[in-house]
């Protein structure tokens, strides 16, 4: 069966879904035109859609399933937990155990609180920074995604007519329904421009509560923030008494000790998600004892934090099982596989005579068919949207979809520990053919 096929079961489900779900499905991030393939089952590194088509899964639920699908240790833990207790309106030992594991792994984290999503984790981390400092301004990088909480849903995909100066980006709304007041205290930084970002931060010295950073910007083709840029932000935060907030919702999977260790920077407070829930919905906030005291409801903490499902024992059980499996050796293996994939993709592009940029780190890879490397959102936008590389990415995605590979358009590939070199070879073989076809059609 080839995609798209309006007679397919996925196409029919999409039509049926549209009647009761605006857009036909709930997550914009998993939609692609003319209809998304609907999943029926998963196993290891493969996903089978409702039309019976099996594909190598480089989506991995947008990074949450680092071990691949249906890992026996996680399935056993979840089944056993479901039989024992799916939920209780009481704390459990499990949340302490998972918190201990995170504290043991991340040097800057002494204490942890759990939430239900990365969005919530970022929200509470930002709230903690504001409460702790008594200030309001939060800086974030232009083009970076940090979940869908109002103040953070800003300047994600700004357009040239409203994005302002390169060295002083305007804070723009990224969704209707967000009041201007929610983003008044959000300062937008140009990625990797040390001088401009430092000046912007210093100009807000008295009001700066924190700087929110995703060091390997998930939304920008895994653009890495440079060591110099990260070091400057760390220094300015320390100088001004502002909090460095790391968003490791995506990038915690870069290593056993997370992204901070990989990038050599210590945050004051960290937002976690995805991986630490073993595939179930999760978020967490972690930091030093001083800032985490804002959540201490036994000692007059000024930031109440709850949530019916926060610390869900099902999620905690899955998360503990996942972290136990993700040993330093596993990280080494999956990261080596990532390097193998990135090198292979660069050779494949060269072989096909197609220009593209392969970014990423660890088990994360992005392949964008742009003309030259990019250092910030605007350089990426000019090539991807204005320059038409997004359409080439859609072409690549569709070719791969029709040849047994699922990835996130326009070209994000997320590996899982269930993959082997043979799986990557399969990806590279298909990708080379795709690149050849695209090169010929140009
Ligand atoms: C860097 C980053 N922060 C926050 C989030 C939001 O996490 P969630 O989708 O669990 O709300 C995401 C989701 O992809 C993310 O990539």
Measured from the CA of 251, which atom of ligand 1 is nearest? Answer: 1
Decide if 345 contacts 426 (C-beta within 8 A): no
Ligand 1, CB within 6 Å, residue ranges: 62, 117-119, 122, 145-147, 214, 218, 247, 249-250, 273
Decide if 299 contacts 290 (C-beta within 8 A): no
The per-residue pLDDT for range 198-219, each reduced to its tens digit, is 999 999 999 999 999 999 998 9
Position 3 confidence tier, pLDDT thresholds 50, 70, 90 = very high
Cα separation, 5 vs 50, whole angstroms = 13
By most ligand atoms within 8 Å of CB, the mutation choice from 27, 59, 61, 145 for ligand 1 is: 145
CATH of residue 266: 3.40.640.10
CA of 272 to the centre of ligand 1 (A): 9
Position 386 confidence tier, pLDDT thresholds 50, 70, 90 = confident
Cα separation, 259 vs 246, whole angstroms = 9
Share of the chain above pLDDT 90, in %: 98
Same domain, 226 and 302: yes
Instruction: Burial-class residue 253 by CB neighbours within 10 Å (0-12, 13-18, 19+).
Output: buried
Query: What is the full DSSP assignment across 7-46?
Result: TSHHHHHHHHHHHHSTTSSS-GGG--SS-PPPEEEEEBTE
CA of 121 to the centre of ligand 1 (A): 9
Same domain, 137 and 236: yes
Same domain, 199 and 348: no
CATH of residue 428: 3.90.1150.10
Domain end (from 296, 325, 354): 325
Max CA-CA distance within the chain?
67
Measured from the CA of 62, which atom of ligand 1 is nearest? Answer: 14
Residue nearest to atom 3 of ligand 1 (CA): 146
Same domain, 115 and 20: no
By most ligand atoms within 8 Å of CB, the mutation choice from 26, 61, 146, 217 for ligand 1 is: 146
At residue 20, does pLDDT exceed 80?
yes
At residue 442, does pLDDT exceed 80?
no
Same domain, 175 and 278: yes
Give pTM, 2 decimals. Answer: 0.98
Cα separation, 435 vs 108, whole angstroms = 43
Q: Is residue 316 part of a domain?
A: yes
Comparing C-alpha atoms, which of 188, 206, 203 is closest to residue 136?
A: 206
Decide if 40 contacts 387 (C-beta within 8 A): no
Q: Is residue 194 part of a domain?
A: yes
Decide if 106 contacts 260 (C-beta within 8 A): yes
For residue 57, the model assigns a pLDDT of 98
Q: Is residue 42 part of a domain?
A: yes
Q: Is residue 220 part of a domain?
A: yes
Q: Is residue 2 part of a domain?
A: no
Q: Is residue 1 part of a domain?
A: no
Same domain, 394 and 430: yes
Same domain, 367 and 234: no
User: What's the distance, Cα to Cα, between the start and end of the chain in Å?
Assistant: 26
Helix H or strand E encompassing 217 = strand 216-217
Q: What is the dihedral of CA 289, 294, 299, 305, to 10 degrees?
A: -120
By most ligand atoms within 8 Å of CB, the mutation choice from 115, 119, 276 for ligand 1 is: 119
Q: Is residue 211 part of a domain?
A: yes
Containing structural domain, residue 202: 72-325
| Strand runs labelled E in 288-387 | 357-361, 364-368
Partners of 366 in beta bridges = 359, 412
At residue 246, does pLDDT exceed 80?
yes
Domain end (from 295, 325, 355): 325
Same domain, 56 and 86: no
Query: Residue range 3-12: average pLDDT?
Result: 98
Bridging pattern class, strands 137-141 and 186-189: parallel
Comparing C-alpha atoms, which of 139, 374, 375 is closest to residue 247?
A: 139
The per-residue pLDDT for range 119-155, each reduced to its tens digit, is 999 999 999 999 999 999 999 999 999 999 999 999 9
Cα separation, 389 vs 339, whole angstroms = 24
Measured from the CA of 282, which atom of ligand 1 is nearest? Answer: 10
Domain end (from 325, 352, 384): 325
Decide if 276 contacts 325 (C-beta within 8 A): no
Same domain, 313 and 332: no
CA of 442 to the centre of ligand 1 (A): 35
The per-residue pLDDT for range 370-380, each reduced to its tens digit, is 999 999 999 99
Same domain, 45 and 103: no
CA of 169 to the centre of ligand 1 (A): 23
Please state whether the peptide bond connecting residue 34 to the residue before it is cis, i.e. omega within 30 degrees of 0: yes
Cα separation, 47 vs 70, whole angstroms = 11
> Whole-number mean pLDDT of the chain?
97
The per-residue pLDDT for range 328-359, each reduced to its tens digit, is 999 999 999 999 999 999 999 999 999 999 99
Same domain, 258 and 340: no
Q: Is residue 151 part of a domain?
A: yes
- How many structural domains are present in the chain? 2
CA of 364 to the centre of ligand 1 (A): 15
Share of the chain above pLDDT 70, in %: 100
| Strand runs labelled E in 255-303 | 269-273, 283-287
Same domain, 19 and 132: no
At residue 433, does pLDDT exceed 90?
yes
Please state, as a whole number, how many other Cβ atoms lie within 10 Å of the Cβ of residue 32.
Answer: 17
């Amino acid at each position: 069966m080839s995609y798209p096929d309006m007679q397919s079961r996925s196409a029919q489900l999409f039509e049926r879904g549209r009647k009761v779900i605006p857009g036909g499905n709930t997550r914009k991030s998993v939609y692609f035109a003319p209809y998304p393939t609907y999943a029926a089952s998963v196993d290891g590194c493969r996903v089978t859609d409702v039309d019976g088509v099996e594909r190598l899964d480089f989506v991995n639920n947008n990074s949450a399933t680092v071990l691949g699908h249906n890992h026996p240790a996680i399935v056993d833990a979840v089944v056993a937990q479901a039989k024992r207790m799916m939920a209780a309106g009481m704390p459990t030992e499990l949340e302490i155990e998972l918190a201990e594991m995170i504290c043991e792994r991340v040097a800057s984290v002494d204490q942890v609180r759990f939430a239900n999503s990365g969005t919530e984790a970022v929200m509470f981390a930002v709230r903690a920074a504001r409460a702790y400092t008594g200030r309001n301004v939060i800086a974030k990088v232009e083009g970076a995604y940090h979940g869908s909480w109002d103040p953070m849903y800003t300047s994600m995909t700004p357009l040239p007519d409203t994005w302002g100066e390169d060295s002083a980006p305007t804070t723009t709304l990224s969704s209707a329904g967000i009041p201007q007041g929610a983003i008044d205290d959000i300062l937008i930084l140009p990625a990797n421009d040390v001088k401009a970002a430092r000046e912007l931060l210093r100009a807000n010295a008295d009001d700066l509560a924190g700087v929110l950073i995703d060091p390997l910007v998930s939304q920008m083709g895994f653009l890495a923030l440079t060591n110099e840029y990260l070091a400057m932000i760390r220094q300015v935060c320390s100088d001004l008494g502002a909090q460095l907030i790391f968003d490791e919702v995506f990038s915690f999977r870069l290593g056993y000790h997370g992204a901070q260790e990989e990038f050599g920077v210590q945050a004051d407070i960290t937002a976690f998600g995805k991986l630490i829930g073993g595939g179930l919905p999760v978020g967490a906030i972690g930091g030093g004892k001083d800032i985490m005291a804002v959540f201490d409801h036994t000692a007059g903490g000024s930031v109440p934090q709850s949530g019916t499902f926060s610390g869900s024992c099902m999620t905690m059980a899955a998360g503990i099982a996942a972290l136990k499996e993700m040993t330093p050796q596993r990280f080494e293996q999956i990261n080596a596989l990532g390097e193998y994939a990135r090198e292979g993709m660069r050779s494949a592009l060269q072989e096909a005579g197609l220009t593209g940029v392969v970014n990423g780190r660890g088990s994360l890879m992005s392949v964008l068919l742009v003309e030259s490397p990019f250092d910030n959102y605007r350089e990426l936008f000019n090539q991807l949207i204005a320059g038409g590389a997004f359409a080439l990415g859609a072409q690549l995605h569709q070719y791969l979809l029709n040849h047994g590979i699922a990835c996130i358009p326009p070209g994000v590939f997320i590996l899982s520990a269930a993959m082997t070199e043979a799986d990557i070879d399969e990806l590279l073989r298909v990708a080379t053919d795709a690149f050849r076809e695209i090169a010929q059609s140009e």
